[in-house]
Chains A and B, each alone.
Chain A
Amino acid sequence: MNHNPQSSDGKHDDDSALSDFLASLMDYAPTIPDELVEHYLAKSGFQCPDVRLIRLVAVATQKFVAEVASDALQHCKARQAAVVKDKREKQQKDKRLILTMDDLQSHCASIFIGVWK
């Protein structure tokens, strides 16, 4: 491991970035409520009195769910585009994007999450 001043500066930057980020988390309200996160973390043995870490976990979960949802959305849009391409007369009939099990399953399989109906 190299400990040159640059990397140490970088570390300091990283440290400050991290601490700044954690501080900014207090202002940010994640979609997943704190009480829910605390409940499930307590269930799994996670013990931490610091609220910032709870927020961090909440944000991480939110990011994960958003990724899964957006990938499933890509599947859904691709499917719709394929349908529209085949039948031109069906002019924007099924405009609504709906989360279905098929999209979810196909994406989750790609990230090694098994989903059964």
Chain B
Amino acid sequence: MSHGGVESTRDTKKGEERCSSLSGRPKADDFGRSVSKIAVAQICESVGYQGCKESALEALADISIRYLCDLGKNASFHANLAGRTECNVFDITRALEDLGDSHGFPGASEVGNCLVGSGTVREIVQFVDTKEEIPFAQPVPKFPVVRNQKLIPSFEHMKETPSGKHTPSWLPAFPDPHTYNHTPMWNERGSDPCADKIEQARQRRKAERALLRLQQRLVCNSSTGTSSSTVLDAKTENIQESRSSPFLAVPLQPGEKDVSEVVLPAKLSNEPIKDDHVSLLEAYAPAIEAMKTGPSNGLDSEKMFLPEKRPAVQFKFKTGKKVLGELLDLSLQKKGERSSTFFLRDEERDDKKRRAEFILRQTTEYPMELNQS
């Protein structure tokens, strides 16, 4: 059976119901209504209909639900009238007669008839005998589903005696005193100021190291365009660079204090802000001192514009291959001479990166050479 107005099958009716309820909020009775719609549609089909309008089906389902409720109300009314709470067949018969008064049933006009032989019941018997059985299309679960409520245990259950004679023991127990009593709290942890300070200092050092690494990376990235020609000028450049960054500066001798500004290389920043950098430098002072403890081989005259003890610096080679290879070999050698410092891990990473870059460049440049030859 299909709907004239809306195309849907009986099986998808519940889905349709859900779709239509999406527009409005789902009501508590939606399930019952949709089940009754299915039942009513089945009845219509048995009567002879081949389709129905959605609105008409809803109206008919609503009517049937109201009829059902009215029957129940009437039957319970009659039962209560007779002084009973539970209904029996005669209450239902009377209710049927009340509802059937509007369109009549055989024997309606007769007064004083025994209810057993009531016309309505006979009609129903006839109906059952003549009509073929049409069971409901789908199994319906028991509804509405009742959730088990967690009740508050009574005094008896808690094996407590209520604090007052007026309170019977079957009432729910009072909540535990800790839920409403406020007790002062004592901080059990013993404070160790020395350990705290040490911990603080350690964390500060960790932060400093991280910041230093970040600075170095920024410096390396910015230091592009250096060629072999500038190698000779390394020292001068170095000195120039030192003005911009303390990490590229000449290493401080022990005991010296560098009060120059911590400035990013010119590419990255323009105007140094004095206030911040002074404080930064003070923060970096211990880290700088730690760097000094590394092996100091002095400045390399030709290759790197960074002295050796400085942590690994990435710089891009844009020169010819030979110089490239030489430079890299020397840099690698120099690395081997160094003892491990805090930045060893960093060095390894930068080393790998540099090697990868070197290999890449070689592959791009060597084929050219091979082609030429």
**A48 near B88: Cβ-Cβ < 8 Å:** yes
Encode contact with A along B30-69: 1 for CB under 8 Å, 0 otherwise: 0010011001101110111111110111011001110111
How far, in angstroms, from A6 to B217 measured CA to CA in the complex?
Answer: 116
Pairs A–B under 8 Å by Cβ, sample size 14: A18-B116, A18-B121, A29-B133, A31-B135, A39-B144, A40-B72, A45-B72, A47-B79, A68-B60, A99-B51, A104-B59, A111-B103, A113-B63, A117-B55
**B92 near A57: Cβ-Cβ < 8 Å:** yes
**A36 near B51: Cβ-Cβ < 8 Å:** no
The A88-103 residues at the B interface (CB cut-off 8 A) are 96-101, 103
Q: Determine the residue in chain A with the shortest Cβ distance to B134.
A: A31
In the complex, how many angstroms separate the beta carbon of A94 from the nearest chain B beta carbon? 10
Given known pairs A22-B89, A73-B48, the reply for A28 and B116 (CB within 8 Å) is: no
**B52 near A98: Cβ-Cβ < 8 Å:** yes
Q: Which of chain A's residues have a CB closer than 8 A to the CB of B49?
A: 69, 73, 97-99
How far, in angstroms, from A81 to B158 measured CA to CA in the complex?
Answer: 78
How far, in angstroms, from A70 to B89 measured CA to CA in the complex?
Answer: 27
In the complex, how many angstroms separate the beta carbon of B351 from the nearest chain A beta carbon? 77
The A32-78 residues at the B interface (CB cut-off 8 A) are 32-33, 35-37, 39-41, 43-50, 53, 56-57, 59-66, 68-70, 73
Q: Which of chain A's residues have a CB closer than 8 A to the CB of B44?
A: 69, 99
Report A's interface with B, CB cutoff 8 A.
Answer: 1, 10-11, 14-15, 17-18, 21-22, 24-25, 28-33, 35-37, 39-41, 43-50, 53, 56-57, 59-66, 68-70, 73, 96-101, 103-104, 108, 111-113, 115, 117
Q: Which of chain A's residues have a CB closer than 8 A to the CB of B71?
A: 41, 44, 46, 57, 60-61
Report B's interface with A, CB cutoff 8 A.
Answer: 4, 32, 35-36, 39-40, 42-44, 46-53, 55-57, 59-60, 63-65, 67-73, 75-76, 79, 85-89, 92, 96, 99, 102-103, 112, 114, 116-117, 120-121, 123-125, 127-128, 131, 133-136, 140-144
How far, in angstroms, from A57 to B124 measured CA to CA in the complex?
Answer: 10
Q: Determine the residue in chain A with the shortest Cβ distance to B57.
A: A99
**B87 near A65: Cβ-Cβ < 8 Å:** no
**B76 near A31: Cβ-Cβ < 8 Å:** no
**B72 near A43: Cβ-Cβ < 8 Å:** yes
How far, in angstroms, from A49 to B88 measured CA to CA in the complex?
Answer: 10
**B127 near A46: Cβ-Cβ < 8 Å:** no
Q: Determine the residue in chain B with the shortest Cβ distance to A113.
A: B63
How far, in angstroms, from A47 to B32 measured CA to CA in the complex?
Answer: 19
**A101 near B53: Cβ-Cβ < 8 Å:** yes
In the complex, how many angstroms separate the beta carbon of A30 from the nearest chain B beta carbon? 8
In the complex, how many angstroms separate the beta carbon of A28 from the nearest chain B beta carbon? 6
Point out the residue from B59, B127, B128, B131 that lies within 8 Å of A115, measured CB to CB.
Answer: B59
